[in-house]
C-alpha cells in the first residue's frame, strides 16, 4: 500500500535517447508545439509513397484528450510534425472511455488504430469475437488502485463497509481483495460518479480509481488517503495497449510502423516537455481542460510506464509472456473462458523492428 501524505514526487522520468532528425526538438514558444521538419523529411521517397497510399489513418484515443500515455504522444506527434515527417495523414478522434467501443471501431475499419486501456481489455474483446491485433504495450503494471482513509490499515477492515466503483469492480481490485483474504460478498458496492471526495466525506469507505487521476485530485485538496495497489498483491496488469485493424496492418504495415515510430519519438519529447505537450492536448479539448492536473496525469503514468519496463525490452514492446500471464489471470477470475491464440492476437516484433541497439531509429533508413 502507498500512503499519500505529502505531494507526489512525479517529476518526469529521463527521456529516451532518440536520434533526432528533420529539425530542432526545442519546445514551441508560447505554449503548444512548433512543428519540426518538413513533409517526408524522415523517410525515403519510396516509403513516403507507401505511407501516403494508406490514406487517412484514423486514431481513436482511449478517453477524450486526457494526457494519459497512449493519448498524449500521438497528439504531440501530430503537433510536432512527426506524422508529417513520415508522410502519414493522421486524424485523431476522442474516445469515450468505452474500450469495447474502441475495439469495435477498429475491427470494423472505421478507425485503423486505437489506444485501449491495457492488455486485459484486448483479451476480453478478442474473446468476445472482436477482430483486432495488439502491436504495442506501454506499461506493465495495473493502473487501477483502491483508495481508503489512512485509518484503514488492513483490507479486511473493509468487510461490512461500502465501496464506491464506476459501474463494475475492476477485476484487478477484486483479485487484490481476494488475495488479502477479504470476503468481497461482505462489502456493499455502490456506483458513484467521478467526484473522489465521496471518500473523504465518508459516503463510502473505499473507492476505486486510477493512480493517475483521483489520488491527484484528492491530494490537490489537501486530503490524506492510502492507495492499495494490485501489483503489491501479485496481480498482473498493463497500461496503454495499441490495437490495429488486422487487414490494414497486412496491407499497410509501413504506415503502422511509422505511426508507432512517431508516437515513440513524441513520448520521449513529452517526458522532457510535459507542459508543452499538454498544451497541445488542451488545444483540442473543450473549455475547462485542467492543464495542471493533466501534466500530473502524464508525469504519473509515464513514470509507471518507465518503472515497469521489463529488463532488456524497449518501450512499447509487447511482452508475450506478460500477456499470457494476464490471460491466465483473466481465466482464473472468470472473465474469459480461455486465453485467445496469442500468435494471432499479437504482433510482437513490430516495435522491436523500429529499434537498433535499443534506440529508436529516426529517420527511417
Q: Hey, how many other C-beta atoms are within 10 angstroms of the C-beta on 41?
A: 18
Domain ranges in the chain are 7-142+237-360, 144-233
The pLDDT, as a whole number, for residue 23 is 37
Checking if the pLDDT of 29 tops 50, the result is no
The 10s digit of each residue's pLDDT in 114-164 is 999 999 999 999 999 999 999 999 999 999 999 999 999 999 999 999 999
Q: Please state whether 316 falls in left (phi above 0), alpha (psi between -120 and 50) or beta.
A: left
Place 287 in a pLDDT band, splitting at 50, 70 and 90. Answer: confident
pTM for this structure? 0.88
Query: CA-to-CA distance for 47 and 138, rounded, in angstroms?
Result: 26
3-state secondary structure of 164: strand
Give 140's DSSP letter: -
| 236: Cα within 13 Å, side-chain hemisphere | 19
Query: CA-to-CA distance for 176 and 111, rounded, in angstroms?
Result: 35
Cis peptide before 363 (omega within 30 of 0): yes
* DSSP secondary structure string for all residues of 34-78: PP-S-TTTTS-HHHHHHHHTT-EEEEE-SEET---TTTHHHHHHH
Query: CA-to-CA distance for 159 and 150, rounded, in angstroms?
Result: 16
The 10s digit of each residue's pLDDT in 332-346 is 999 999 999 999 999
CATH code that applies to domain 144-233 = 3.40.190.10
The pLDDT, as a whole number, for residue 257 is 98
The pLDDT, as a whole number, for residue 30 is 41
CATH ID of 7-142+237-360, from 3.40.228.10, 3.30.2450.30, 3.30.930.10, 3.40.190.10: 3.40.190.10
Tell me whether the CATH fold assigned to 7-142+237-360 matches the one assigned to 144-233.
yes
Q: What is the mean pLDDT of residues 223-240?
A: 97
Grid cell at residue 215? 489520488
The pLDDT, as a whole number, for residue 36 is 73
In this structure, the strands spanning 225-228 and 2-4 are: antiparallel
| 95 φ/ψ angles, rounded to the nearest 5 degrees | -85, 165
3-state secondary structure of 308: coil
Amino acid at each position: 500500500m502507498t500512503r499519500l501524505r505529502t505531494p507526489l514526487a512525479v517529476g518526469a522520468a529521463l527521456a529516451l535517447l532518440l536520434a533526432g532528425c528533420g529539425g530542432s526538438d526545442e519546445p514551441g514558444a508560447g505554449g503548444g508545439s512548433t512543428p519540426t521538419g518538413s513533409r517526408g523529411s524522415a523517410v525515403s521517397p519510396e516509403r513516403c509513397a507507401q505511407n501516403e497510399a494508406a490514406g487517412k489513418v484514423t486514431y481513436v484515443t482511449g478517453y477524450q484528450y486526457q494526457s494519459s500515455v497512449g493519448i498524449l504522444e500521438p497528439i504531440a506527434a501530430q503537433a510536432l510534425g512527426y506524422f508529417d515527417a513520415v508522410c502519414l495523414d493522421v486524424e485523431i478522434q476522442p474516445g469515450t472511455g468505452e474500450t469495447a467501443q474502441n475495439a469495435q471501431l477498429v475491427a470494423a475499419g472505421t478507425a485503423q488504430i486505437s489506444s485501449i486501456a491495457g492488455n486485459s481489455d484486448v483479451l476480453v474483446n478478442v474473446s468476445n469475437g472482436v477482430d483486432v491485433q495488439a502491436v504495442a504495450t506501454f506499461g506493465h503494471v495495473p493502473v487501477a488502485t483502491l483508495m481508503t482513509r489512512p485509518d484503514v490499515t488492513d483490507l479486511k477492515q473493509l468487510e461490512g463497509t461500502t465501496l464506491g466503483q464506476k459501474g463494475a469492480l475492476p477485476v484487478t481490485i477484486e483479485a487484490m481483495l481476494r488475495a488479502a483474504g477479504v470476503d468481497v460478498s461482505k462489502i456493499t458496492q455502490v456506483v458513484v460518479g467521478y467526484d473522489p471526495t465521496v471518500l473523504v466525506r465518508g459516503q463510502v469507505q473505499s473507492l476505486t480509481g486510477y493512480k493517475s487521476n483521483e489520488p491527484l485530485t484528492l491530494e490537490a485538496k489537501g486530503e490524506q488517503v492510502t492507495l492499495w495497489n494490485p501489483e503489491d498483491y501479485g496481480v498482473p496488469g498493463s497500461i496503454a495497449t495499441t490495437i490495429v485493424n488486422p487487414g490494414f496492418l497486412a496491407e499497410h504495415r509501413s504506415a503502422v510502423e511509422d505511426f508507432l515510430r512517431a508516437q515513440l519519438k513524441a513520448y520521449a519529447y513529452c517526458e522532457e516537455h510535459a507542459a508543452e505537450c499538454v498544451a497541445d492536448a488542451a488545444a483540442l479539448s473543450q473549455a475547462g481542460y485542467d492543464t495542471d492536473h493533466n501534466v500530473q496525469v502524464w508525469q504519473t503514468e509515464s513514470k509507471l510506464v518507465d518503472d515497469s519496463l521489463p529488463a532488456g525490452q524497449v518501450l512499447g514492446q509487447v511482452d508475450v509472456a506478460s500477456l499470457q500471464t494476464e490471460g491466465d489471470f483473466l481465466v482464473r477470475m472468470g472473465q474469459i473462458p480461455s486465453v485467445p491464440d496469442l500468435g494471432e492476437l499479437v504482433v510482437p516484433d513490430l516495435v522491436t523492428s523500429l529499434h537498433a541497439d535499443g534506440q529508436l531509429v529516426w529517420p527511417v533508413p
